[in-house]
Amino acid sequence: MSQPSTVTLKTKLAILSVGLLSFVGILVETSMNVTFPTLIKTMGVSLDTVQWLTTGYLLLTTIVMSTTAYVLKRFNPKPLFLFAALVCLLGGILCWLAPNFPVLLTGRLLQAVATGISIPLMFQLIFTYVPRNQLGTYTGLASVIVSLAPALGPTYGGILTSVWSWRAIFVGIVPLLALLAILGAFNISGKALGVGDKKFDYLGAILLAITFTSLLFTFNNAGTHGWLSPNFGLWCLWSIVMIGAMVTYAIKGRRQLIDYSILKLPILRLRLFNYFGLQFINIGLSFVLPLFAQTVLGASAMTAGL
């Protein structure tokens, strides 16, 4: 595909629709952190259960993102976007009307699938339809979308939870998602690049999903039972086994879900460690601080969000 010379209005609207879908997904993710004390009381669940609204969401988003190298080449952008938008809309409605915690968690997991698709799709549209001399501007704007949403999320969720209900978080996004679906349907175009004779790496995806899930359960058991507990030790051992299996498959397997050979570059390995370390700290604090403000300091959800 030849490199475009200008960014048309249709391309801008296409990037905007996918970008806002990504924004909504991340916004709601951080909005839920300030609702945990309320949900614990209203739905009768414990903290280690309600936290799966965040950890489960992030886990599934990560797993879905790991498949997009294949998915974005296999499916055209428009149907892929419409699928993500409709799944996110369905998830929002389920969360809005959720009578119990399992239904609420199901809705959040559906939205995780949408976010896992929309963020890579946003960057694919930018790198495909934006001229090289404007890539810095548009990737910067895309990064702002990804970073601004978690900053606004706690405030958005805290205010709505205090003045109305935690369900208002989803009431506010449902009409927006419907508008985004329409906007994207009229402006997103293009064809998938094609995967040739390559087949999807199901075994690689399963190993990756099990490994990430094992790591989450390992740290969850550390928080629930303690770092010296047998539960943590067994889960830690299982996680090491799964990491070993995933690495072995990545080296010897015929198919590759992710090209791990890029990690041979020292600067990329160091940058990756830096990035994940900062994200670990940032997401951890966004989870801990609202809980501390409400349960220990007695602050309202609005104050905790701010």
Domain boundaries defined on the chain = 9-198+300-305
End-to-end CA distance of the chain: 46
> Tokens standing for 162?
């205090």
CB contact at 8 A, 125 and 188:
yes
CB contact at 8 A, 22 and 146:
yes
Asked whether the CA dihedral 155, 32, 58, 46 is positive or negative, the reply is positive
- Name 289's Cβ contacts closer than 8 Å, sequence gap at least 6: 304
**CA-CA-CA-CA torsion for 218, 224, 227, 229, nearest 10 degrees?**
-90
Q: Where are the extended beta strands (E) located within 14-90?
A: none
Q: What local confidence, expressed as pLDDT, does residue 2 receive?
A: 56
Q: Side-chain half-sphere of 263: how many Cα atoms within 13 Å? A: 8
Residue range 9-198+300-305, CATH number: 1.20.1250.20
DSSP type of residue 166: T
3-state secondary structure of 12: helix
Phi, psi of 267 (to 5 degrees): -65, -35
CB contact at 8 A, 28 and 151:
no
pLDDT digits (tens, 9 = 90+) for 237-293: 999 999 999 888 887 777 777 777 777 888 888 888 888 888 888 878 888 888 888
pLDDT band of residue 11 (cuts 50, 70, 90) is: confident
Q: What local confidence, expressed as pLDDT, does residue 195 receive?
A: 66
pLDDT digits (tens, 9 = 90+) for 31-86: 888 888 889 888 888 888 888 888 889 889 989 998 888 888 888 999 999 999 99
Q: How far apart are CA 155 and CA 300, in angstroms?
A: 12
Judged against a pLDDT cut of 90, whether residue 204 lies above it is answered with: no
pLDDT digits (tens, 9 = 90+) for 130-142: 888 888 888 888 8
Choose among 249, 205, 255, 243: nearest CA to 66.
205
